[in-house]
Chains A and B, each alone.
Chain A
Amino acid sequence: MSESPKKFDIKDTKRILLGWPPKIAYDGNNDTVVSFYSKASGQTQERTSFFKGKKLTSIFIYAMCLGKRKGLYNDYEKKDGKIDRRATIDVEYFASQPEYVWMMIATAFDHAKNVEDMNNDELLKLFDNPSKIVEICEKYANFGIHQLIKMNDDASIGDPYKGYDEKISDLLDES
Chain B
Amino acid sequence: MNMSSEERILIKNIAIKNCGNYYGEHNIELSDSLDKNFTVIIGISGMGKSTIFKLIYWCLYGTHYDPKTEDTSSDQGIINSTLLKSLESGQRAVASVTLDIHDKKGEKYVLSRTLTATNHRETNAKKFDETNNSRINSGIQIESESKMKMKDDDGNIVNQKDIRLIKNSISKLFPENLSDFFLFDGEKLVDFRNKSNAAELIKKGIEKISGLPIVDELISNSKKTKNSIIKHIADKDVDSSILAKELQNFEDDYDEKTDIINSKKSELKKYLSTYDNIVKKIESTKSGKNLQSKISTLEKNSKTLTKEIQRTESKMKDFMFDAIPESLIRETLEKSEEIFAKLEDEDKIPPSISRGAIDKILASDPLRCICGRDFDKDDSAWTKLDEIKKIIIDDDISQGITQGRGLISQILDRSIPKKINDAYDEFVENAKHSRDQKQKILAELDEFNEEIKSIEFENDEDYGQQKKDYWEKISLCQGEITSLTEEWEDLEIKKSGAESRLNKRIEHEKVDTVERNKITIISAVEQFAAQKRSEIIDVLRDKTEESTSKYFLESAPQKEIFDHVKISSKYDITACDADGDVQELSKGQSHVLGLSYVSGCRQITNINTFLFIDSPLHNISGESRNEISQVLAKNLPGVQVVLFVTDSEYLQGDPQGAKPVRSYVNPSNKVWREYQIIDNNDDGIRGKAIEEFKRDV
Contact = CB atoms under 8 A, between A and B. Distances in A.
A102 B96 CA distance: 80
Interface stretch (A28-36, A76-84, A88-96, A105-113): A105-113
A5 B424 CA distance: 44
Interface in A68-124: 68-69, 98-99, 101-103, 105-107, 109-110, 113-114, 120-121, 123-124
Given A10-B401, A13-B403, A62 B325 contact: yes
Interface in A1-41: 1-3, 5-13, 15-16
A102 B395 contact: no
Nearest to B428: A165
Contacts of B213: none
Contacts of A150: none
A102 B328 contact: no
Interface of chain B: mostly helix, strand, loop or mixed: helix
B333 A8 contact: no
B397 A6 contact: yes
A9 B331 CA distance: 27
B561 interface: no
A120 B336 contact: no
A166 to B, nearest CB: 11
A57 B401 CA distance: 22
Contacts of A106: 329, 332-333, 335-336, 408
A62 B336 CA distance: 19
B6 interface: no
Interface of chain A: mostly helix, strand, loop or mixed: helix
Contacts of A101: 404
> Of B335, B394, B486, which is in contact with the most chain A CB atoms at under 10 Å from its CB?
B335
Contacts of B348: 1, 120-121, 124
Contacts of A13: 400, 403
Contact of A110 (B328, B336, B395, B421): B336
A50 B329 contact: no
Contacts of B340: 109
Interface residues of A, number: 50
B121 interface: no
Given A12-B403, A16-B400, A123-B339, A168 B332 contact: no
A165 B320 contact: yes
Given A102-B411, A120-B343, 7 more contacts: A10-B400, A98-B407, A106-B329, A106-B332, A113-B335, A172-B420, A175-B327
Interface of B: 317, 320-321, 323-329, 331-333, 335-336, 339-340, 342-343, 346-350, 391, 394-397, 399-401, 403-404, 407-408, 411, 417, 420-421, 424, 486, 490, 493, 496-497
Interface of A: 1-3, 5-13, 15-16, 43-44, 47, 50, 54, 58, 61-62, 65-66, 68-69, 98-99, 101-103, 105-107, 109-110, 113-114, 120-121, 123-124, 161, 164-165, 167-168, 171-172, 175
11 contacts: A5-B394, A8-B400, A11-B399, A47-B486, A65-B324, A66-B328, A69-B331, A103-B333, A110-B332, A123-B343, A171-B328
Instruction: List the 6 shortest-distance A-B pairs measured between CB atoms, nearest first.
Output: A175-B417, A106-B336, A10-B400, A65-B328, A65-B325, A69-B328
